[in-house]
A and B are shown apart, each in its own frame.
Chain A
Amino acid sequence: MTGVLRATAQVCQAASCLAVGSEQVLQALAGRVERSGLADVVVKRVGCLGLCAAGPLVRIGPTGALFERVSPEGTGGLVAALRDATSTATPVSPLAPFFARQVRVVTENSGRIDPENLNDYVASGGYQALRTALTSMTPAEVIEQVRRSGLRGRGGAGYPTGLKWLTVAKSTGEGKYVICNADEGDPGAFMDRCVLESDPHRVLEGMAIAGYAVGASKGYVYCRAEYPLAVARLRTAIRQARQAGLLGVDLAETPCGFDIEVRLGAGAFVCGEETALIASVEGKRGTPRPRPPYPAAAGLWGQPTLINNVETFANVPTIIRRGGEWLARMGTEKSRGTKVFALAGRVVNVGLVEVPMGISLREVVYDIGGGVVDGRSLKAVQTGGASGGCIPAEYLDVPLDYESLTAIGSMMGSGGMIVMDDTVCMVDVARYFMDFCREESCGKCVPCRVGTTQLHMLLTRIADGDATLTDLARLQRLCGTVQRTSLCGLGQAAPNPVVSTLRYFRDEYLAHIEDRTCPAGVCPVAQRKVVP
């Protein structure tokens, strides 16, 4: 390629667009561009463009025009658009609101850079933060910036990240470890997958900065094996970073060393729990153990270990580059920065969105999400995956932050957001999530192993129209014991979908039990013949 680049065609090559044939689109478009002799145009592989529902997606830089549902045959129009593309023309896109309300920190490079090209990441400011940290900041100063940013764990629990780093930094051991939790497993959640597929170097950079801050020289990314593309791009990124001297020994020409290895999960949801994850990395059966001791004091191989999730680490380079205060200016008093949500379910714009904390659910679902499919009415929004709860329509104006969501019986969780309309039965939803927890219980502690199965049996009884009010009382009693007595977060949170639907949609439960009907017509009871 010679001369100045006038335009780029950014073709999404993340999992959801690939699933609808974006690889063929990329090849067809590259072929057409070459044949048409456009020398100042480049066709580029990029990560997630966000609007997964409309894939395969192609974005034209610099105009920002987004082409949806592109087929290999339909790339002709794109060539015309590329030919006419100038940086001054800004086409009015019907998809504008989807992007207008978003604030991109974690996903700033997503859909912009080639995830398999280190130079692309470096050109957009990548690894600058690591160099700055290594050459002009002390570990304490790095931690101070993270503390000032107010960043809290994006994996779900919302523990202050700076405090966690400080605890690990102060712990003493023979060797410390940094682990990135990429075992994203909540139903409907795909934030971490998109970050890893779109901008893997950002996560590696965040981990290397963390390693320097807490005094660790070894890191692991624990990624689920069900994400083959994310794993492949991570491995490519690690190889490139090692070659460029950004991982390994003598990082960025300093005496500091930090290397990262990928470890694959074998399909257990519980391995997202930090102590189970550590056991799995050690090669043991992936089951949780009681805390304390917390991993910050005794984690991997008994050594102080820092565990954060993908999105948390992905925030770090920006915090170092722009300063903690920059991030702290976004969001609410207690929940700073942005949050990436995987918008799914009965919503028009299914996809990946990043919004400032404190934005209302209504803005996310209606302004960004484009509202409910087929113009139906919204019944509930499920957040927090199998550990979260269902938020009914009357709470749509609640701000999205850690405390507000907990107060209404749900939780932030890792960022899954499933929109449900009036065709959905809440008993069925609760039964679905309980089936998930029952399948995913590791079987170590009694309340989770047996209780989740019994909860599922009771919910099935209700869905089949065989339950009595006594069963409803049993359900509530059992929820209490499983929540209070389970060993780890999986069991403690497993009853949440039941508890929250019971709280807001009790009438639906009663309809199944007393009237033997399913108002949404979903459950088996709806098919039951009425005996005259």
Chain B
Amino acid sequence: MTTVHTLTIDGAEVAAADGQTVLEVAREHGIDIPTLCHLEGLSDVGACRLCLVEVGGSGKLVAACVTRVEEGMEVTAHSELLAEHRRTIVEMLFLERNHICSVCVANNHCKLQDIAQDLGVDHLDLPAVNPDVGVDASHALFAVDHNRCIMCTRCVRVCDEIEGAHTWDVMGRGLAARVVTDLGTPWGTSPTCTSCGKCVQVCPTGALFEKGRSVAEGAKHRRPFLPHLRLIRDEGPRS
């Protein structure tokens, strides 16, 4: 028997099963909460902070992707304050590295771009960091352009949790943190990479892309398969 909770999200009464996250329930009920690091089928890390919602009148903001529903919860998913924080976070992401949509392989296929448009981020006001970060094109099929990486770590998680290769990981800290392959060696020389391409497919921006694609040609289509892969992995094949 599943315990059912009732709660409100932005004033709308919703029902949820015990153990569900606020994000899951909101999306089931057609309430859109922006996310970048969350991807259905992967574990959640609560790192991008875009899905922050306010619970009760506490004033405290929590990440909807990792917050479990509780009976009688009053969730505010949209308010002027939350929109302001979300816009600032997106602004930070654009200024952290070198995002130039007009020359990006993922132009029109980019989650960061979509969210910026949805939230109305039309100018950048804070200081730009513009670091000198590299490109690793040593792999035969794929490349990683760190200029466009937003450190969502979806590639790290899909490689570890779904493919089981754990080729990707994070190295360095703070602004110097980078996703790396095999302890920071060139991707093309990786003995662990299976060249499955899952990392490329789950990357929300143009940081990971297939070689041979030009500006705006980097559409990624295979994401919906993840939950099914996850299910098979978790429950095993049905006889």
Q: Give the B-binding residues of A (Cβ under 8 A).
A: 268, 270, 285, 289-290, 438-447, 449-454, 457-458, 461, 474, 477-478, 481, 484-487
Q: Is the Cβ of B126 less than 8 Å from the Cβ of A443?
A: no
Flag if B125 contacts A474 (CB, 8 Å): yes
A484 touches B125 (CB 8 A): no
A439 touches B47 (CB 8 A): no
Question: A268 to chain B: which residues have CB within 8 Å?
Answer: 173
CA distance A452 to B47 in the complex (A): 15
Q: Would A441 and B46 count as touching, CB distance under 8 A?
A: no
B125-142 interface with A by 8 A CB criterion: 125-127, 129
CA gap between A449 and B95 in the complex, in Å: 12
User: CB within 8 Å of A: which of B82-131?
Assistant: 84-85, 88-89, 92-93, 95-96, 125-127, 129
A485 to B50, CA, bound (A): 9
Other 5 A-B pairs with CB < 8 A, given A289-B45, A453-B175 = A289-B46, A441-B175, A446-B49, A457-B127, A485-B49
Q: Give the chain B neighbours of A484 by CB distance below 8 A.
A: 61, 85
The answer to whether B151 has its CB under 8 Å from any CB of chain A is yes
| B52 contacts chain A at the CB level, 8 A cutoff | yes
CB contacts (< 8 Å) of A458 on chain B: these are: 126-127
Binding site for A on B (CB under 8 A): 45-49, 52, 61-63, 66, 84-85, 88-89, 92-93, 95-96, 125-127, 129, 150-151, 169-170, 172-177
- Asked if B126 and A454 make an inter-chain contact with CB atoms under 8 angstroms apart, the answer reads yes
- The answer to whether A485 and B52 touch across the interface, beta carbons within 8 angstroms, is yes
Closest 3 CB pairs of A and B: A443-B177, A450-B92, A290-B46
Q: How far is the CA of A478 from the CA of B62 in the complex (A)?
A: 18
Choose one: B47, B63, B88, B169; the contact of A481 (CB below 8 Å). B88
| Distance A445 CA – B92 CA, assembled complex (angstroms) | 11
Note all chain A residues with C-beta closer than 8 A to B47.
Answer: 444-446, 487
Q: Are A449 and B151 within 8 A (Cβ)? A: yes
Q: What are 7 contact pairs spanning A and B, CB under 8 A? A: A289-B46, A440-B174, A443-B172, A443-B174, A445-B47, A453-B129, A474-B125
Q: Are B173 and A447 in contact (CB under 8 A)?
A: no
Q: Is the CB of A450 within 8 A of B85?
A: no
Return chain B residues, CB-CB under 8 Å to A290. Answer: 46, 62-63, 66
B127/A454 in contact, CB under 8 A: yes
Which residues of chain B come closer than 8 Å to A450, judged between CB atoms? 92-93, 95-96, 129, 175
Within 8 Å by CB of A443, from B49, B85, B173, lies B173
Cross-interface CB contact of B176 among A443, A447, A461, A478, cutoff 8 Å: A443
The answer to whether residues A444 and B45 also contact, given A290-B66, A485-B61 and a CB cut-off of 8 A, is yes
